[in-house]
Amino acid sequence: VALHAQGADIPHLRQVVAKNNVTSILVFGDSSVDPGNNNHLATTNKGNFPPYGKDFLNGSHPTGRFTNGRLATDFIAEAIGYTNIIRGFLDPHMKKADLLHGVSFASAGSGYDDLTANLTTVLSVAQQLKYFMHYKIHLREMVGEKRAKKIVSNAIVVLSMGTNDFLQNYYVEPIRSEQYSVEKYQKFLISSMFRDVKAMYRLGARKLVVVGVPPLGCFPLVKTLRDETECDMILNKVSLSFNSQIIETLATLEATTGMKTAFVDIYHVILNAVQNPKRYGFAETSKGCCGSGTLEYGETCRGLSTCADPTKYIYWDAVHPTEKMYKIIADEALNSLINTMFK
CA distance 272 to 196: 30
Residue 81 CB contacts under 8 Å (≥ 6 apart), including other chains? 14, 17
CA distance 251 to 300: 40
Q: Which of 113, 268, 286, 320 is catalytic?
A: 320
Residue 268 is which amino acid?
H
Indicate the SS3 state at residue 186.
helix
CA distance 141 to 131: 15
Q: CB of 286 within 8 A of CB of 232? A: no
DSSP per-residue codes, 187-231: HHHHHHHHHHHHHHHHTT--EEEEE----GGGSHHHHHHTT-SS-
Q: Which of 24, 31, 32, 286 is catalytic?
A: 31
Q: Which of 30, 91, 317, 331 is catalytic?
A: 317
Residue 99 CB contacts under 8 Å (≥ 6 apart), including other chains? 135, 138, 139, 142
Residue 31 known to be catalytic: yes
Residue 320 known to be catalytic: yes
Show which residues are catalytic: 31, 317, 320
